[in-house]
Amino acid sequence: MGASRPESLNMPVKARPSKGHILPPSPPDTDREYSSSEPSDTEAKALPSNRGKPSTRKLPSYPLPPEARSDNTVLIEDFKTPDSHVIRDPRLVRLTGIHPFNVEAPLSDLYDEGFLTTKDLHYVRNHGAVPKVEDSEIMDWDFKIEGMVENPIHMSLAQLIQEYEQVTYPVTLVCAGNRRKEQNVVRKTKGFSWGAAGLSTALWTGVAISDLIRASMPRRGARYVCFEGADKLPNGYYGTSIKLSWAMDAERGVMLAHKMNGETLPPDHGKPLRVVIPGQIGGRSVKWLKRIIVTKEPSDNWYHIYDNRVLPTMVDPEMSANLPETWKDERYAIYDLNTNSAICYPAHDEELLLDEPERSYKIRGYAYAGGGKRITRVEITLDKGKTWILANVSYPEDQYRLAPEGETLFGGRIDVSWRESSFCWCFWDLDIPVSQLQVTDDIMVRAMDEAMMVQPRDMYWSVLGMMNNPWFRVVIHREDHNLRFEHPTQPALMPGGWMERVKKAGGNLSNGYWGEQLAGEAGAPTPIEPTKEICMTNDKVNRIITLEEFKSHDGETEPWFVVNGEVYDGKDFLDGHPGGPTSITGAAGQDASEEFLAIHSENAKAMLIHYHIGTLDKTSLALLADSESAPPKDAPPREVFLQHKAWTKAILSVKKSVSPDTKIFTFDLEHAEQAVGLPVGQHLTIRLRDPVTREAILRAYTPISSRGAKGKLDVLIKIYRDTPAQKGGRMTQALDALPLGHFVDFKGPHGKFEYLGRGLCAVSGRERKVRRFVMVCGGSGITPILAVLRAVMADCEDSTSCVVLDGNRTEEDILCRAELDAMLADNKDRYRLNYVLSRPSPSWTGRRGRIDKNLIAEEVGPRTSTDGEGDMILVCGPKPLEENVLSIFTEMGWKKDDMLFF
């Protein structure tokens, strides 16, 4: 920070809970020298020779970037991801698991750095892998300006630096999801949980975009400027747009930046070229820029349409999936930031000793507005909004306006003095007597901008959880000899905050009173059942296993796998696993933590103790190859879609309703000629991620695609929705809420059963001859039954007979009925079909009731078996149906070996 650092920013490195005072202002560092225009070696080659040597002089009056850390390295967490080339700071809080990299700094650390943020602690929002650009390739990086222009431009970064004037100015970038965790606590949105540190400020150096667009000569009728990056994502390259008039308005300061705080852009921040749009949400400032397209209409990029929007508050996640025109409505697109503020000190869980009640405590925080507007006031209330106190506000950004005419910084002219716009955050503080804090319950802050827009008291919840800006509230707890302060939330999955505490106690966070129980409200707080911890390790096992040893057991005979860093040997459970041996061999040699913990019951977790053989050493665990690692860019297209040990992405392209609660979801595979690769009778696993917690949701399904289908995958899914009485299905509701064009992960095949044809099948690898299949199903349980039935009936040389008992509630609940009936019409000699309805209409002429012993005795009869050939029962449906069927057939003398439950 420069010599004129505001007093309110001269804080200690750590919070001082015992006193709560700030340190006295430090004297200006007048002896420090700086270079106002030092180019890097690669940039120097691109600069004209007449630019002269960089000048060296005393510190200016405006802030300079803090020193960045020199000891950061590639973190262990990133070794097994596509970002293994990116150096990062370990202090950053990961919001979406290991990858992609979405992070914010701890709020206190961010504030302590002052007005400018180092590259180490600057927040990061990545949708996928970071493009890798070597230093030697920087100046050759090229981009295009095309579309509705008379003079299309295709130029390199070297040309951009050499041919256009460079400017430098500070800009605060803010993620539209800043403070989203608060919304997620009230009600889950479709976004992950940002805390209050989803913003950062840096000095950006580059070229005013208006200069470039003017040179491209936009045509009459052009109204928008679209940007597209080099980050290839499941739904295309990341892209968005802003209005052409904004890009051409010098007051708005839109630039193409190639430096951050005087250095080449770091990989996470767009190396080597990005867009920087002051005053607008960070999602518009496209990184790794490759294309600028001048258009008549807003961008049609998937990420412009389905990201960075505030839909009306009555649109919930389930509704949002079926409102394509709503998503495309530009009225709901977010551009300018709204007014917002937060309290940074007192920090969360900071303690203030009550040894000197006569002294004061300095409350401190930040505020920002959007669209170039300035924050004009910040107010504090200690009585829930009945009265307010004006805080002191400082604007470090204004110090750049005092720079001498023509002065350059980091190779760019300090282009601020003439502007009225405010591009940056400001800081506020207020001294409050400790005696006053002792008698209040909370501190709240609100800010107002020059358009008199003030933060609202109450939250505006929306499906994406963006632009959250209600009053920021810190609760005060009076303890024995101190006060303890509690922020509303902590970012990501970190526990803590008064909002979670109040919600767990049964409080209503949307009641307008911050969840406090009002006089006259009935009902005691709902007790929270503690999470049950399941022991999955054997205390007597203390063996340390290396990666080399672990990887030597990645086959089918001795499959070792890892869960939570512990190694398990699955060979003794190959035959007994309900999902068949492939469920274990598919995890051999891999870290199966996510899949195992997401799918298995408490009983299954407890069983792991019997297969525990040791612990993978920490270095090996960090280096363990991730099954999700991106394939080589030059890998040839695969003939078969499903992979046994790796997740593969497909794009959701169609959702077709076939009953009130069931849909066919169609996914586009990697290319039109790609086969699914699913044997008859086996299933695949679908994985989605909870949009809030990023926890994996995994479920097994049998597609209904025809056997020879290519390029497409059809999955029939019954959607279990939330009701007042009980929660619905996480996976089915998540799929239903997924917008078209989004990707889904698949893995397979799995299953212990496979139909090989003409009565021959394999169960857990052992072949068996079947003369008759008895197929019992209910609801969407028809899908694995249908796959086997199709295979039998499609082969006129297959003499295997089939009896199908299909139970449902109503006639409209019968799924795949047209195909089932069509097969019956063509194969009456070897196929019997019975529909059974528990809630039939008066006009129903078929069987009524449930699948019971009388029906089975009449339609199936006794077990038959000769010369190793006989009957096999295939069952798939709700758990009560399966339990009932097992009981009936067992009572009728059938053996467990005759029955297979999908």
Give, in order, the Cα–Cα distances in Å from 197 to each of 6, 94, 410, 785. Answer: 20, 12, 27, 52
Give, in order, the Cα–Cα distances in Å from 5 to each of 21, 316, 376, 400. Answer: 18, 45, 20, 12
Catalytic annotation, pick one of 109, 307, 415, 591? 307
What does DSSP assign to residue 625? P
In a 13 Å sphere around the CA of 110, the CA atoms on its Cβ side amount to: 28
Q: What's the CA gap between 16 and 804, in Å, rounded? A: 73
Catalytic annotation, pick one of 83, 120, 175, 802? 175
Any alpha helices (H) in 566-639, and if so which ranges?
Answer: 582-585, 593-599, 602-607, 618-623
CA angle 350, 355, 359 (to 5 degrees): 85
Unique residue bearing structure tokens 């106190």: 389
Side chain identity, residue 254: V
Stated as kind and residue range, the H or E segment containing 766 is strand 766-778
| Number of Cβ atoms within 10 Å of the Cβ of 818 | 9
Unique residue bearing structure tokens 């051409």: 248
Residue 827 annotated to the active site: no
Instruction: Please tell me whether 802 is known to bind a ligand.
Output: no
Structure tokens, 654: 């169609």
- Residue positions counted in the chain: 902
Q: Rounded to the nearest 5°, which phi and psi values hold at 793?
A: -75, -20
Closest-CA residue to 430 (of 483, 391, 478, 469): 391
Contact of 308 with 333, CB cutoff 8 Å = yes
Contact of 126 with 104, CB cutoff 8 Å = no
Query: Helix 817-826 vs helix 782-794: angle between axes, to the nearest 10 degrees?
Result: 30
What is the Cα 661 distance to its own chain's centre?
A: 27
Residue 816 annotated to the active site: no
Contact of 750 with 700, CB cutoff 8 Å = yes
Q: What's the CA gap between 594 and 596, in Å, rounded? A: 6
Q: What's the CA gap between 399 and 407, in Å, rounded? A: 13
| Number of Cβ atoms within 10 Å of the Cβ of 458 | 12
Structure tokens, 270: 């767009």
Q: What is the DSSP string of 655-710?
A: EEEEETTEEEEEEE-SSTT-B----TT-EEEEEEE-TTT--EEEEEE-----TT-B
Residue 235 annotated to the active site: no
Q: Which long-range contacts (CB under 8 A, 24 or more apart) does 624-633 make?
A: 624/80, 624/547, 624/550, 624/562, 624/590, 624/591, 625/80, 625/590, 626/80, 626/81, 626/591, 627/590, 627/591, 628/99, 629/80, 629/81, 629/82, 630/82, 630/129
Q: What's the CA gap between 434 and 413, in Å, rounded? A: 46
Question: Residues 6 or more apart from 873 whose CB is under 8 A from it?
Answer: 773, 774, 775, 776, 885, 889, 894, 898, 899, 900
Instruction: Kindly tell me the burial class for residue 571, based on how many C-beta atoms sit within 10 Å of its own C-beta (0-12, 13-18, 19 or more).
Output: middle
Q: What's the CA gap between 306 and 501, in Å, rounded? A: 32
Which residues are known catalytic residues? 175, 307-308
The annotation places the binding site for Mo-molybdopterin at 175
